[in-house]
Every structure is written in structure tokens, then in C-alpha cells.
Structure 1
């Protein structure tokens, strides 16, 4: 019998269905088995619930809740497939712009990627990653690296991260030569490269932007897009956003689902 990469050992219909949906998105094949099936012992990664797992100390095990956390399951599967048990250094790479590319790099292995058009959703994902790392691997260093190709869009994702967790380590990284492809994957590939580059630590002056006409125009378009045209901002509000007196979250919430 060939060794399957992933085995799912659960007889709970809802958990099984949701887990298969997660694996479908990851484009990873798997086998479904009962907890006492031989396939469980052969698989490189074993997905099961706390009640059904043959051995809770098995290093291959990824525990599933009744409603599995898609992001956590994704990360832990890729960790085990790449033989990462206790990471020492984790970097979130962000390629800011009209679309935000996000990449989570764990000991130089990419374990999660996302693309979003919202700087707030990008910040939320990075904060989720930070929470997961600090809770699961308390001795691991977590660093955020943000590309500098667009100062406005960089600022829009950095500010909400620091507002919710002021102690977050953030570096600004030169984006030169990080765009090596085109199309939907360009933002992700750039984020991956940004995560691998050293940068300069963010300072208070980093978050300061002049109220230039281009920045004001871009902010007006962004707010309109994020709220589906239900909210527009004045030039005065755009200037307050640039100065930090007003946050993007205050402007678009609850019109944008976060």
C-alpha cells in the first residue's frame, strides 16, 4: 500500500465534510478512514478529533474541532507536510496595493497565502496569524514585513495592526524586483519574496503621509470601493485619515464586513 499524504479519521459527518472542503481549496488529496484503519498509521498527516484520534501525542496529528478552523488547519497541515514541528521564526509578508498579497513564512516555508482588496482584512489576517503563533508557539518570534512600493497602502495596513497590537515587530522592505510574474498569483509571489527580505523597522515617521492630491483621490476611491458605493468621504476626512486623526475602520465599519 502506498503511503497517503493525508488521512482523515473521523466519523462525524459535519467535521468530515468541512475538512474535505478545506482540503479541496488547498488542492491536496486525502483518504478518509476510520480511526482504527491501517491507513491512519501510514499517512504523513493525520486529521482527527480529540475524541477519535488513536494517539493524542502523535506528532502527525492535526486536531479538528466540530467546525474546523480553516486557517489553522491549513497551516498545521503544511507544517507537518514540511516537517516543521516547532518553528523558531515566522514572518508575515505583505505586498500592499490595490490588492494585498499576504504570505505566512514559517522557517522559510510558506504555510498560508491570501489576497484581499481591503487593508483592514489584510490587517485582520496578520493579527490572526500573530495570535495563533503567540498562543501555540510562545517562544517563536513573529515579524511582519511590508513592501514599500506604495506608501499610502503600506500605511493603511500597518496602522490597524499597530492599533490592535502596538508591540508587533514590523519592517519596511524594498519591493524592487519582487514582481516576477503577472496575473492573480503576482500579489502572492511578491508577498513571499517580501517575507524573505530584511527591512528597516517602522518608526512613527513611517506612518506620516503628506496630504497630497494623489493620496486624497486614492483614499476617496478606496472608501467607495470598500463600502460598495454606500459611503463617500470629503477631502477634509481624507486628510484626517492621512494624518491618523481618523481611522479607516471608523469610516467603513459596519459597511464593510470584516
Structure 2
């Protein structure tokens, strides 16, 4: 996944080293270019979105033609989605799909309006659940859908069981991984981990609806 139209359009400002490091580490993981900002210097004209730590938000208010995105403690995991929405001048995506490849590790890919916006690999199903809960509760899209691969029935059922306790009323589909693997995906630079790539295939393939979604 690369930054595409985001190159050099993202500015970062944080006075605390910890906040700054967390923000730029996530941007680097996502292969997004950025510019470090100084509030006492003119804002580069190409900057369209400014990421600012919560404690520093007031210092970056009132910028004409620039969207200021306040990064809170839990917001770092949703940074890519919030950047894309800000650049597009939108409050929500039309459709957001979370693809999950269950196995000894859990690959995850997040697709918003047909574009890959995030990917991860989790070792523990509870960590996977916590991330997906953050995505669902953020209400980033008009429609949010989970697609779970069926390649490992044991791990698929573990995900479904865990999610049924931790998520409410979420639309879920189970996807045939043999068919999903035939779905073409764009070449990604840099390439993403194998499990995340499998999750992307799953996200892009329509599956069988889990009746009633997930309910507590």
C-alpha cells in the first residue's frame, strides 16, 4: 500500500516526543510521506491535512484550507482512514469492509470504497477483536461489513465465537477462501505480509451472510 495522492500533503505537529514518534511510526508503517511542522513557520502550501497530538490541537486551529485531525490515544489505529476522509472532504466512507484471514496468526485488511486503507497481522484473537471494535465503533462508513475466511474452520469458529461476545449487530459474511484466492488484487508497493494479503483477497470476495450478524 502506498500513499498515492497523499504524498507530501500530510503535516505532523506534536510537542511531546512520545506523541510525535507514535504518529510518524504509523505513517511510516503505512508508507505515507509527511512533513514535520513548526507552528512558528509558514505552513507549506502543499499541506492539506495536519495531524496533531491532542495536547497541541489549539496551536493548529484556524488554518485556511487545511483539515486538522486530532490524534487521540486510541485514534492512532484509525489514522489512515481519518487521513483519507480528511483529504476527500468527507465525514464517512460509503462502504468499509474488514477482511480477516483466520489461522495461527490473523491477517486483517481494511478496504474503504474499494481502496486498501490498512492492514495488520495479529497473534491473539483478542487483539484482533479490540482493533475491529475500534473500527466499528468509530462509525467510519455508512455500511461496515466483516468478511471472514473459512480456510481454517477451527480458527474461523474461534473468531466468530469471540466476536459474538464482543460485537453487537455487525453484518458478517463467511468467505470461501479457495474462491477468494482467485480474486485479483492490485500490485502493492511495498508488498504487505502474506496473511494480510490473504485477508485482502477475502475482503474483496462476496461471501455467505451469517444470519442475524453478530449479537451479544
TM-score by length of 2: 0.76
Q: For residues 58 and 129 of structure 1, do their structure 2 counterparts lie closer, same or farther at Cα, with a shift above 3 Å needed? A: farther
SS in 1 for 2:69: strand
My pick for the range that moved more, 53-62 or 86-95, is: 53-62
Q: Which residue of 2 aligns with 1:198?
A: 206
1:143 aligns with 2:149: no
SS in 2 for 1:110: strand
The ranges of structure 1 where at least 4 consecutive aligned residues each deviate by more than 6 angstroms after the TM superposition are none
Q: 2:127 aligns with which of 100, 121, 124?
A: 121
Q: 1:106 aligns with which of 90, 112, 136?
A: 112
| Map 1:191-230 → 2, pairs under 5 A | 191-203=199-211
Measure, in 1, the Cα distance between the counterparts of 2:13 and 2:65. Answer: 13
Q: Which residue of 2 aligns with 1:234?
A: none
Q: Which residue of 2 aligns with 1:240?
A: none
Measure, in 2, the Cα distance between the counterparts of 1:56 and 1:147. Answer: 44
SS in 1 for 2:128: helix
Measure, in 1, the Cα distance between the counterparts of 2:154 and 2:63. Answer: 47
Unaligned runs of 5+ in 1: 205-258
Q: 2:197 aligns with which of 189, 194, 216?
A: 189
In proportion to residue count, which structure has more strand?
2
- Superposed CA deviations along residues 29-73 of structure 1, whole A, max 9, x for unmatched, are 3211223543354213221242122337956322134x5732022
Which structure has the larger Rg? 1
Q: Which has the higher contact order (CA 8 A, sep 6+)?
A: 2
Q: Which residue of 2 aligns with 1:161?
A: 163
Q: For residues 45 and 51 of structure 1, do their structure 2 counterparts lie closer, same or farther at Cα, with a shift above 3 Å needed? A: same
Unaligned runs of 5+ in 2: 1-6, 186-190
Q: For residues 57 and 99 of structure 1, do their structure 2 counterparts lie closer, same or farther at Cα, with a shift above 3 Å needed? A: farther
Q: For residues 10 and 116 of structure 1, do their structure 2 counterparts lie closer, same or farther at Cα, with a shift above 3 Å needed? A: closer
In proportion to residue count, which structure has more helix?
1
Q: Matched residue pairs, number?
A: 197
* Contact 1:90–1:105 (CA under 8 A) maintained in structure 2: yes
